[in-house]
Structure 1
Amino acid sequence: MNVTITPGLLAGAITPPPSKSQAHRLLIAAALGTGESHIENLAHSQDIDATLRCMAALKAPGDGLPELDCGESGSTLRFLIPVALALRGGGKFTGHGRLMERPQEPYFAIFREKGISYEQRDGVLTVRGRLSPGDYTLPGDVSSQFVTGLLYALPLLEGDSRILLTTPLESRGYIDMTLDALEQFGVKAAYDGDRAFQVPGNQSYRPRDLTIEADWSNAAFWYAAQFVGCDLEIGGLNAFSAQGDMRIVPYFVKLQGKGPVDLDVSQCPDLVPPLAAMAALRGGEITRIVNAARLRIKESDRLTAVTQVLNALGGRVEEHEDHLVIHGMDHLAGNVTVSGHNDHRIAMMAAIAAIRCQGPVTITGAECVKKSYPDFWEDYRSLGGRYTCDT
């Protein structure tokens, strides 16, 4: 689907969709429980449907390795690899887009140490073996998803375990969300705040009735729309949430100030696209988005995708190995077609930047927002956004 936007300001009240990050975590914990849980305010997206599908496959009766189609969801894949080993002695994982190209070496290093077999061939990752209690060592600066996967699986083992990080933990907010979800379901795991987790074994997930919060990651795009001049009321968000992307609020304030600004995104990499849209329209000011190397292994190479899209719109973005330098402008030219790069956050960034373009903007592959925010285009129109679709 191609969307052609006629630039214009948005206005009105908007509640972001339920948190995809929290939904993954609560759904997995609920599925691991022995009783019936009720999870309210669940919004279906491609990523959430992948987790539901894979948990159903893991819990289904039968012998042999379950086949788990993770779609394009990195969370589903990395969270469930250890869970599959703990529950079923492994599984066959498949995916779409760039998913199966994304690095899994932190797990592979553990598997080699623990005697767990793995094979990645023709887009299928097969893992086979059983996790055993003990120490699990992995880097903390590749992806917090590896830590989360172990935090879900290790409590199910027959003895105590530790997770030991060899490098500082990045995306700490996502680990806080995992620990919060575990606690909600009666599972204990202690983090020392630095590089060690203590995870007792022989635990059970207890059933719970919970409600998923609104999503700060997707709310960030509406904050970006506010920044570029839209009169929006963003509601439904938990100001005391464990979601790390609440960081959008202080960064929003920081970008409103004068002078050069450095934004460290090591703890909030998903905020880069909306932050870049704001920085591109921060007239006359320079913004550096730093510690962003991990953006290269997302649904797209997001450092390259952000640079290409904003520059095509008429912005001034310099791409470096692990950071971006953005020279803010009062408006962008538009009158161009840009790719959504099969990346939901890139397509939404382009839609927000288009608000302050002087000419229309066409976004190709705009249906990719279904990965996390299926109603984005409907919400955009409800706020006064004008666009046409070419399917």
Structure 2
Amino acid sequence: MNVTITPTLLKGTITPPPSKSQAHRLIIAAALSDGVCRLSNVELSQDIQATLRCMRTLNADASSDGTVIRGCNLVDGFEVPPPEIMDCGESGSTLRFLIPVALALQGGGKFTGHGRLMERPQGPYFDLFREKGIACSLEDGVLTVSGKLTPGEYALPGDVSSQFVTGLLYALPLLEGDSEIQLTTGLESRGYVDMTLDALSRFGVSVDYDGDRRFQVPGNQVYQHRDLAIEADWSNAAFWYAARLLGCSVEAAGLNPASVQGDRVIAAFCNRLREPGPVELDVSQCPDLVPPLAAMAALRDRETTRIGNAARLRIKESDRLSTVTEVLSALGADIEEQADALVIRGKAKLPGGVTVSGHNDHRIAMMAAIAATRCEKPVTITGAECVKKSYPRFWEDYEKLGGQLTRA
């Protein structure tokens, strides 16, 4: 689907969708629990559908809308991995969270995905598995892991992706003995690990984290069934914060200001971008905020913004440092791509009048839509259906706020 946006300022109040990051974590914990869990405020984005689908493969019983989940039947013995291939869609969270879980539950499994998912790095797991005698192979887009996950010490880097840490934090409590995760580098995207620790604690699973590089995980723990609601998502709310800074009268409702979601820092970043003078933003702990931040920076008239420590954006759904640069440049922004940063010199308006690709990346398509509100001529976004990955109703919400768009 292509959408063509006629530039106009947006106005109104919108409630962002439920947090995809929190939903992944609560669904997996519920599926590992000792009973029936009821989750409210679940939205079936493509990524959440992938996690539900994979948990069903691991013997959890989930309703079609993801609101009622019955825990897995834990399987003793590790002779034969489960026969089904787990289709993770384009969800890096689903894949990386569930690799250790499949090993702990059933001695392994087979995983596949779409888009760039199977190209994204899995090295930290592969290195660990070789040490632990766990077999792993990637052939024809199918990742196969097989072996027994054993309690003990696990060392891995903290600056590739926090998702590797989360996957182990879900699996290790299920083992018969105690374990320890030791990070060999500083932890980036710590807010996502905080969300994991919060989800585990809600289901009665304890982890001792020293706040730096060591996690001590007792074994023989039981996930206790719970009924919980999923919070509104700060990551997607960031696009409405961006619209507001660009001059739209938009309010994002229903957000928890005390949330453990790390992307709630968007409010503080917006305040910094409102100030005159050069601004430098460190996004090592919140890389998903770069597209909306870049849209805001592109329209800080005659002000320079540097968005740094962002190298990990190159291994997202697209190479986001490259695609942010390409799309905003096409709209008329003055933006420079560096190895791990973007340098943006703001303008009062952008010319627009072009067609840009959504690059099969939900956050790139939404960034283009928000930037289009301050363009002089219409903007067409191709592949606009990619927003379904995290925000299926984005275009409907855009129209509710007065956005003028046509679909083709």
Q: Kindly provide the amino acid, as one letter, of the partner of residue 45 in structure 1.
A: S
Q: Kindly provide the amino acid, as one letter, of the partner of residue 367 in structure 1.
A: E
Query: Who is 1:9 aligned against?
Result: 9
* Conservation of the 8 A alpha-carbon contact between 2:41 and 2:230: yes
Query: Who is 1:51 aligned against?
Result: 51
1:218-229 matches, within 5 Å, as 218-229=236-247
Deviation at 1:190, TM superposition (A): 1.1
Q: Distance in 2 between matches of 1:106 and 1:190?
A: 22
CA deviation profile, 1:268-290 (whole Å, cap 9, x unmatched): 00000000000000110000000
The partner residue of 2:265 within 237, 244, 247 is: 247
Q: Kindly provide the amino acid, as one letter, of the partner of residue 258 in structure 2.
A: F
CA deviation profile, 1:165-221 (whole Å, cap 9, x unmatched): 000000010000000000000000111011000000000000000000000000000
Query: Who is 1:290 aligned against?
Result: 308
Deviation at 1:67, TM superposition (A): 1.6
Q: Runs of 5+ in structure 1 lacking a partner?
A: none
Q: Distance in 1 between matches of 2:176 and 2:270?
A: 46
The partner residue of 1:365 within 367, 371, 383 is: 383
Query: Who is 1:387 aligned against?
Result: 405
Q: Distance in 2 between matches of 1:16 and 1:2?
A: 22
Give me the identity figure in percent: 73
Query: Who is 1:26 aligned against?
Result: 26
Q: Secondary structure at the match of 1:220?
A: helix
Deviation at 1:64, TM superposition (A): 3.6
Q: Distance in 1 between matches of 2:309 and 2:20?
A: 24
Q: Distance in 2 between matches of 1:132 and 1:81?
A: 14
Query: Who is 2:161 aligned against?
Result: 143
Q: Distance in 2 between matches of 1:182 and 1:97?
A: 30
1:279-318 matches, within 5 Å, as 279-318=297-336
Divergent runs of 4+, >6 A: none
Query: Who is 2:369 aligned against?
Result: 351
Q: Distance in 1 between matches of 2:39 and 2:346?
A: 43
CA deviation profile, 1:132-160 (whole Å, cap 9, x unmatched): 00000000000000000000000000000
Q: Distance in 2 between matches of 1:131 and 1:232?
A: 49
Q: Distance in 2 between matches of 1:131 and 1:233?
A: 47
Q: Secondary structure at the match of 1:358?
A: strand
Q: Does 1:205 align with 2:223?
A: yes
Deviation at 1:96, TM superposition (A): 0.2
Q: Distance in 1 between matches of 2:97 and 2:26?
A: 12
Q: Kindly provide the amino acid, as one letter, of the partner of residue 47 in structure 1.
A: D
Deviation at 1:232, TM superposition (A): 1.1
- TM-score of the superposed pair, with normalisation by structure 1: 0.99
1:90-169 matches, within 5 Å, as 90-169=108-187
Q: Runs of 5+ in structure 2 lacking a partner?
A: 61-72
CA deviation profile, 1:300-328 (whole Å, cap 9, x unmatched): 00000000000000001100000000000
CA deviation profile, 1:8-58 (whole Å, cap 9, x unmatched): 000001110000000000000000001001110000100000000000101
* Conservation of the 8 A alpha-carbon contact between 2:81 and 2:146: no
Q: Distance in 1 between matches of 2:377 and 2:176?
A: 62
Q: Kindly provide the amino acid, as one letter, of the partner of residue 49 in structure 2.
A: D
Q: Distance in 2 between matches of 1:321 and 1:130?
A: 39
Q: Does 1:73 align with 2:73?
A: no
Q: Distance in 2 between matches of 1:263 and 1:64?
A: 45
Query: Who is 2:393 aligned against?
Result: 375
Q: Secondary structure at the match of 1:37?
A: strand
Query: Who is 1:187 aligned against?
Result: 205
Q: Kindly provide the amino acid, as one letter, of the partner of residue 362 in structure 1.
A: T
Q: Does 1:263 align with 2:281?
A: yes
Q: Does 1:278 align with 2:278?
A: no
Q: Kindly provide the amino acid, as one letter, of the partner of residue 339 in structure 2.
A: E
Query: Who is 2:103 aligned against?
Result: 85
Q: Distance in 2 between matches of 1:133 and 1:13?
A: 49
Aligned length: 390
Q: How large is the Cα RMSD of the aligned pairs?
A: 0.9
